[in-house]
Structure 1
Amino acid sequence: MPEAGTADYELLKTNPDKVFLKTITGQLQAILEISVIEILSTHASDELYLGQRASEEWTSNEKALKALKRFGSKLKEVEEKIAELNDDKKLKNRGGSKKLEYTLLSPYSEQGLTAKGIPNSISI
């Protein structure tokens, strides 16, 4: 908010829309920011997710392999629980004219912009 006594404050009293428009990001800058966010949020077809490895040969340590398998099983349980909660009609905000499911912590995703999937790693 402009401070009292400034030119912007006087303009706010007479033309609040103009003052508001001075505070928001320009169209070109907004388009660039949205484009970058979309590019960084899109999953690749060969992306690995939390608990996944590109090959079984990443280690020969049997204990580590079993731990990764247990971790993967727990992640599948989390994914199933999220799906179960999304289907529960008793929970708030699950209904309405458009059913919007909670997907952000679903461990796995398909290719594209999905709002789900936890990548094994990121590179920017």
Structure 2
Amino acid sequence: MPVEEPTDEELKEFYETPEKVMLNTYPSQKQATLVMVTLDLLSTHSPDEEYIGEYPEASWANEPIIYAAYERLKGRLQYLEGVIDERNVTLSLKNRAGAGVVKYELLKPTSKHGVTGMGVPYSISI
């Protein structure tokens, strides 16, 4: 029953046509389409999106101190990617692993281009 305290009329309708009551709980086609479009927009990356840490700027490579800081940043990003991968396979984290749970890859720098769960590759905008 969709409501916790149904009226007598709602209960009668539920007992007579439970499939009708169940179908009334589903979103309309317009609502479902709006949700799907919103989720698609929120989970898709721009093709020209780029992550820091993969390629140094040309000016960074010429300055040893800046380049060393860049290398530390790159190492830290690789470490964090390892943490994400480790948490994705840890079964005790119910929000990260298990049946029907998509692995978290949205902000992983080396994940594949596409939608959430596939991430975006390193790229350089021109």
Hey, which bits of structure 1, 4+ residues long, moved more than 4 A?
50-58, 62-69, 81-86, 91-96
1:75, distance to aligned residue in structure 2 (A): 1.7
In structure 2, the partner of 1:32 is 34
* Cα distance in 1 for residues equivalent to 2:46 and 2:34: 21
**Pairing of 1:1-124 with structure 2 (within 5 A):** 1=3, 3-49=5-51, 55=57, 67=69, 69-83=71-85, 92=91, 102-104=103-105, 107-108=108-109, 109-117=111-119
Return the TM-score normalized by structure 2: 0.55
* Contact map agreement 1:106 1:117 (CA 8 A) in 2: yes
1:76, distance to aligned residue in structure 2 (A): 1.0
Query: Residues 57 and 37 (structure 1 numbering): CA distance in 2 closer, same or farther, change over 3 Å?
Result: farther
| 3-state SS, counterpart of residue 14 of structure 2 | helix
1:103, distance to aligned residue in structure 2 (A): 3.4
The sequence identity of aligned pairs, in percent, is: 29
Return the TM-score normalized by structure 1: 0.56
* Cα distance in 1 for residues equivalent to 2:117 and 2:69: 27
- Structure 1, unmatched stretches of 5+, are 119-124
* Cα distance in 2 for residues equivalent to 1:65 and 1:104: 27
- Structure 2, unmatched stretches of 5+, are 121-126
Cα deviations by residue, 1:31-74 (Å, 9 ceiling, x for unpaired): 2210221122112221133667995669xxx9887555423321
Q: Relative contact order: is structure 1 or structure 2 higher (C-alpha 8 Å, sep ≥ 6)?
A: 1
* Contact map agreement 1:52 1:72 (CA 8 A) in 2: yes
- Give the CA RMSD over aligned residues: 4.1
In structure 2, the partner of 1:121 is none
